[in-house]
C-alpha cells in the first residue's frame, strides 16, 4: 500500500494539431482568389453577351478616357476642388489643352497650319458632341431629353438641334418663354460649351400656322425664341462675348413635310468654327 502511494504520477498531455497539419488556412486564400477570378470572368462573358457594340465601347472608354477631366493629377481638398468636371479651370491638359487650338491666333496664314487647326477643331467639337449625345459612352442628357436632341458636325460647326414633340413643347406658345424641359437641356449645353471657346449662333424656327389666321407672326415667334434661348444660356454662365448672332427663320425651313407638326418647332444652337474647313 505504501509502495503504491509513493509511485510517481505521470500526466499525459495530448497535443491537438488543427487541421491535421496539411489542412492549414492558406488554401482558403487561394480558393478565394480563384472564385473572385471566376466571378470576374463570368461577369465579362455576361457583359459581352448582354451589351451592344456602342455600350461596350463606352465601357472601354470609361477605363481609358479620352476626354479631359482634371487639369492636375495631384490631390486636393476635394474631388475637382468644389467645382464640376466642366469647370474651365479644372480641365485636363491634353497636348496644349482640352481645346488644342484655343491659344493659337485665328489669323494663321500658312495653309497647312490652318488645315491642322481645322482638324484639331473638328476633334474638339466631336468631343463636345460625345459628351452631349453619349456617342461611345454615357450622355449628360437624360433618356427623355435625348429624344428631343439631334446633332451633327458640319462645315459650319457643331449644330445641335432641339425640337418639340407632341405633348412636350419647348416654348410657351404665345410668349415664347422657355419651358422646363428646354431649360434642363440648356443647362447641360452651358456646361459642355466650357470645353471649347467657339462662338455660338442660335437659330429659331416655328411650325407653320393655320392659313385662316390673319397674322401668323411666325417671324416674331422664331426670333423671340432664339433670343430667350440666348438669355437663358447667358444666365447659365455662357459669356455674352461668345454669342455671334441670333436668327429667326419663321416657318421657312421645315423638317417635317406636315407644316403644323410640333417637330418643326425647334431651335438650333451652333458652335461656330474658328477655322473653317477647306471647301471642296
For 71, half-sphere exposure in the C-beta direction (CA atoms, 13 angstrom radius) is 15
**Spatial CA neighbour of 131 closest among 113, 158, 110, 169:** 158
H-helix or E-strand spanning residue 201: strand 200-205
| pLDDT tens for each residue of 205-219 | 888 876 655 556 778
Confidence of residue 255 (pLDDT cuts 50, 70, 90): confident
Q: In terms of C-beta density within 10 A (0-12 exposed, 13-18 middle, 19 or more buried), how is residue 100 classed?
A: middle
**What's the grid cell of residue 228?**
430667350
Tell me the C-alpha distance between 206 and 267, whole Å.
Answer: 9
User: What pLDDT, on a 0 to 100 scale, did the predictor assign at position 150?
Assistant: 87
Query: Looking at the predicted structure, is the pLDDT value of residue 20 above 80?
Result: no
SS3 label, residue 87? coil
For 270, half-sphere exposure in the C-beta direction (CA atoms, 13 angstrom radius) is 19
Handedness of CA 114, 120, 126, 127 (dihedral sign): negative
| pLDDT tens for each residue of 155-181 | 899 999 998 888 888 888 778 788 898
> What domains can be seen in the chain, in order of their start residue?
109-272 (3.30.1330.60)
Average pLDDT, the chain: 75
Which residue in this structure is represented by grid cell 495653309? 111
Tell me the C-alpha distance between 263 and 133, whole Å.
Answer: 19
Highest-confidence range of 60-69, 86-95, 167-176, 228-237, by mean pLDDT?
228-237
Ranges assigned E (strand) in 61-176 = 149-154, 157-163
| pLDDT tens for each residue of 88-115 | 444 444 444 444 444 445 455 566 677 7
**What's the grid cell of residue 37?**
477570378
Amino acid at each position: 500500500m505504501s509502495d503504491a502511494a509513493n509511485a510517481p504520477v505521470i500526466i499525459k498531455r495530448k497535443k491537438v494539431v488543427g487541421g491535421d497539419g496539411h489542412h492549414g488556412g492558406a488554401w482558403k486564400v487561394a480558393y478565394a482568389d480563384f472564385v473572385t477570378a471566376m466571378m470576374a470572368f463570368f461577369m465579362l462573358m455576361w457583359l459581352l453577351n448582354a451589351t451592344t457594340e456602342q455600350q461596350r465601347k463606352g465601357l472601354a472608354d470609361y477605363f481609358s478616357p479620352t476626354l479631359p477631366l482634371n487639369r492636375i493629377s495631384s490631390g486636393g481638398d476635394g474631388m475637382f476642388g468644389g467645382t464640376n468636371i466642366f469647370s474651365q479651370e479644372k480641365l485636363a491638359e491634353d497636348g496644349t489643352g482640352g481645346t488644342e487650338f484655343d491659344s493659337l491666333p485665328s489669323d494663321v496664314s500658312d495653309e497647312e497650319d490652318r488645315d491642322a487647326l481645322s482638324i484639331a477643331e473638328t476633334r474638339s467639337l466631336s468631343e463636345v458632341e460625345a459628351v452631349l449625345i453619349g456617342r461611345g459612352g454615357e450622355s449628360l442628357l437624360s433618356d427623355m431629353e435625348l429624344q428631343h436632341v439631334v446633332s451633327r458636325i458640319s462645315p459650319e460647326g457643331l449644330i445641335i438641334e432641339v425640337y418639340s414633340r407632341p405633348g412636350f413643347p419647348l416654348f410657351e406658345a404665345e410668349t415664347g418663354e422657355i419651358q422646363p424641359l428646354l431649360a434642363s437641356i440648356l443647362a447641360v449645353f452651358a456646361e459642355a460649351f466650357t470645353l471649347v471657346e467657339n462662338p455660338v449662333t442660335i437659330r429659331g424656327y416655328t411650325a407653320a400656322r393655320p392659313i385662316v389666321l390673319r397674322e401668323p407672326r411666325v417671324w416674331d415667334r422664331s426670333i423671340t425664341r432664339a433670343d430667350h434661348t440666348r438669355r437663358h444660356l447667358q444666365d447659365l454662365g455662357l459669356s455674352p462675348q461668345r454669342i455671334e448672332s441670333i436668327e429667326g427663320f419663321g416657318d421657312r425651313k421645315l423638317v417635317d413635310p406636315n407644316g403644323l407638326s410640333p417637330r418643326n418647332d425647334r431651335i438650333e444652337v451652333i458652335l461656330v468654327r474658328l477655322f473653317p474647313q477647306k471647301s471642296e
